[in-house]
Structures are given as structure tokens and as C-alpha cells.
Amino acid sequence: MDKKLWQIIEKEIKRQEETLELIPSENFVDLETLFIVGSPLMNKYAEGYPAKRYYPGNKYIDEIENLAKERALKAFKLNPNKWSVNVQPYSGSPANLAVYLGLINPGETIMGLNLFHGGHLTHGHKVSYTGKLFNSIQYCVKDKGIDFKELEKLALEYKPKIIISGITAYPRTLDFKKFYEISKKVGAYHVADIAHISGLVIANLHPSPFPYADVVTMTTHKTLRGPRGAVIFMRKELEEKINKSVFPGLQGGPHMHTIAGIAYAFGRALKKDFYNYQKQIVKNSKKLAEELIKRGFELYTGGTDNHLMIIDLKPLGLDGKTTEALLERANIIANRNSLPSDTSPFNPSGIRVGTPAITYRGMKEKEMIEIAEFFERILIKKEKPEKIKKEVINLTKKFPLPYRKWLRMANKIL
């Protein structure tokens, strides 16, 4: 046993056990996912697609990839004659790049939500290849939501080939129909990136993009709670272009152990428990937002409709970096985040807070009140974070994670 390495793994497990994980894009996999993703499936090279591989020995690998695809389509109730799915992208960023490169040529125009307003790097931010390879036009949020007036004006002026509807730090419901209508007006593809909200869409707690999109991308480790990976759904007529773009265009051998974990995650998403879990994520998020507002915090767009919220720290005279560090001293993990008034993402004035991970641990509305109090005591009443840390650890102990069992098993058999 590699003692040095396992000691570090154990320390990280303890950190996860004893902290309140509020980064909205993070979650906790279950033990079955750990076993599947750690299985000997990772030994196999399988370039290509089921029944069209470049290597032999892929009989069972094909079964796994087909099962993942079948369940992914089922989870979103998609008609397999109209929609196709690619489960091979290594993660969300290469998935998005593969879509753009599959549909249009470098130099052509894409439009996405500005990073400071809640968009993702891969929606055309200038430091990402998506903003370097393509001519990127960014739309914004005004008041409490996406500024569709500006979006339409920009679309008519710049005639993008792709309009991306997608978020990474936007707490409101997305009106996919409006994106569709503007896209059609200017002859653009509508690509919806539902990485954050995929679980909510499956559970009908957020409107589905599928009636209005040409392509839908998502990661599999956020609200879906699967292993790290990504999936691309595309209308049948776009299948060949996008599949070729993923492989051989951008990637080599698919990670079949991860794809098996994705098959398992979509299988779990077909069950009633999954709906209850997603419902509680949103309930918790709304409760936490309400309790924070009650205590004097200001939230970006005034609240939340989904699993996340962003606290505007400017009225408290704080910045994101200082706040992130103060919270971490109390074992509360929430990440600093840009707001429209910011100019640098390194020291922004927001802190992003989400409920998927703590909801998986079993926390409900009662704990949201406690968490809002922690925020108030640290950031408004200026209590020492170290004092609150003990209370945070006590709270986390009531909602254990399953990883000790896994660790014990590793210790026993290795």
C-alpha cells in the first residue's frame, strides 16, 4: 500500500466530511459510483463508437456505452429517432469546444453570456480558446435577468452562427424559448449548456431546453451527482458532425470507466428518489436565500430560482477573496465569484453558494437557517471563524458521508 498517498487521501476525506460544501458545481458520488469508476474498465482502449472501434476486444465496452446512451436519452424523455447522444467527452470544456468546432468554422461568430454576468469561460470568454478561435460576442444580465433586448440587438447586428444559453453563476430560470426564437431569426444554432441545472431539468424543476435547442451539453458531476464527465445531446441531423468532432477531432480513447459511471448516474436519475433529491436542492436553496436576505445580505438578481445564489459583498465592504478565506477558516467552502460590476475575476465582489452537495448529505430547511446564521456571524457580526468552525464540524457530523467504509475496505484488501 502506498502509505504516503493514502494518508493524503484520508486527510482529504476528513476535510470533505468536516466541511460544509457550498460550491454549487460540486457534489458527492456514492460508493457504487466509486466502485464502478475504479473498475478494470479503465484498462480498455476503445477509440471509435459502439460497433465501430479501432481496437478489438470491445464487446462489453460497447454494451456499456450503449447502455449509457440509452439511459441518458431516457432521463430527458428524448425520442431516439430525433435525438442522439455522445457520452465520450472528458468534461464540460472539451464538450463545448467539440460542439462549436463540429458545427462552425474558426473565425465565425458565437454568442454567450458574459463571464462576469454568470456565463462560463467556454461560452466565448477571451482567455478561453472558445473566445480566441471564434469571434465572440457576449450578452449580459440587466436588473433581474438576461437582457434579451440587447441579446437580440447584438444577434441581428453580428449574425452569430451559434447562440449559447448556459450558465455557471446565474441564479434564475432560463427562458430557452426566447433563445430559440432569436437563434432562428438570425439562422444560428441554439446550444444550451445545462451543466449546472441538468438534475433540475430531469426532475421537471426547470423548463427543458430540448424543445428549443439544436444541441444540449452537460457535465455529469454536478446536480446529476455522477462521475466527472460530460455528455452532448444533438438533433439527429447533427450527429455525424458532432461525433466526428469529439472523436477523432478532439479526443482519443474514451474513458470507459467514467462512461460506466455515467450509465449508472442516468439509471439512478430514472428513479423517484432522484426527483425528491432535486426538489430538496431547490427548496434548500430558496430557504437559504430567504434567510440570508432576512439577515441583510444582498443577492445577485435579488434571489434564486435554482440551486445557487451569489452574495454581493460590496454593501458589506468585503471582497470575494477575503470572504472565501474567512469562510474556509470556519470550514465553510464557497467560492468567490465575479459580478457585473467587477473587472477582474481574481478579486471579485461576489461569493457563490449552492445546495446540491449539502442536500445530498441530508440537510434540509432547518440546517439552511443554521448556515445563514454562520454567514451572518462571520461576515456581519465579525465573530472569529475559528469559533464557528467547531459548530460547523458538529453539524457535519450529523450528516455523515459514506467514504470511511470505502477507506476501511481499501485498508483491508490492499
Instruction: Provide, rounded to whole angstroms, the least separation between the CB of residue 364 and ligand DSN.
Output: 24
Q: Pairing between strand 52-53 and 20-21?
A: unpaired
Q: Catalytic residue at 189? A: no
d(CA 345, CA 320): 10
Q: Which residue is nearest to ligand DSN (CB)?
A: 25
User: Does the annotation mark 181 as catalytic?
Assistant: no
DSSP alpha helix (H) spans, 38-143: 59-75, 92-103, 129-132
Write the CB contacts of 364 (distance below 8 Å, at least 6 apart in sequence): 280, 283, 284
Annotation marks residue 47 as catalytic: yes
Which of 10, 26, 45, 62 is labelled catalytic?
A: 45
Residue 352 Cβ vs ligand DSN, minimum distance, rounded to whole Å: 8
Comparison of 120 and 389: residue with beta carbon closer to ligand DSN: 120
Catalytic residue among 19, 49, 100, 193: 193
Distance from C-alpha of 350 to C-alpha of 329, rounded to nearest angstrom: 18
Active site residue 149: no
C-alpha cell, 139: 450578452
Beta bridge partners of 135: 109
For residue 185 the three cell numbers come to 431569426
Which of 74, 159, 178, 228 is catalytic? The answer is 228
Task: List interacting residues with ligand DSN (CB under 6 A).
Answer: 25, 92, 120, 168
Nearer Cβ to ligand DSN, position 101 or 121?
121
Q: What minimum distance in Å lies between the beta carbon of 92 and ligand DSN? A: 5
In the set 222, 287, 336, 352, the catalytic residue is 222
What is the spatial distance between Cα 252 and Cα 269, in angstroms, rounded to a whole number?
28
Nearest distance from C-beta of residue 246 to ligand DSN, angstroms = 18
Catalytic residue among 26, 47, 62, 181: 47
C-alpha distances (whole Å) from 381 to each of 202, 265, 295, 378, 395 are 40, 42, 11, 6, 20
| 10 counts as catalytic | no
The active-site residue out of 219, 220, 223, 355 is 219
Single out the residue of 123, 233, 112, 122 nearest to residue 179, CA to CA: 112
- The strand pair at 308-312 and 350-354 is best described as antiparallel
Q: Quick one: 228 or 314, whose CB is closer to ligand DSN? A: 228
Residue 248, preceding peptide bond in cis (omega within 30° of 0): yes
Please confirm, yes or no, whether 329 is among the known catalytic residues. no
Q: Which of these, 124, 112, 73, 88, lies nearest to 249 by C-alpha position? A: 88
Choose among 105, 127, 115, 307: nearest CA to 205: 307
Nearer to ligand DSN, 90 or 180 (CB): 90
In angstroms, what is the minimal distance from the CB of 24 to ligand DSN? 7
Residue placing its CB nearer to ligand DSN in the complex, 84 or 128 = 128
Minimum gap (Å) between residue 171 Cβ and ligand DSN: 12
Catalytic residue set? 45, 47, 193, 219, 222, 228
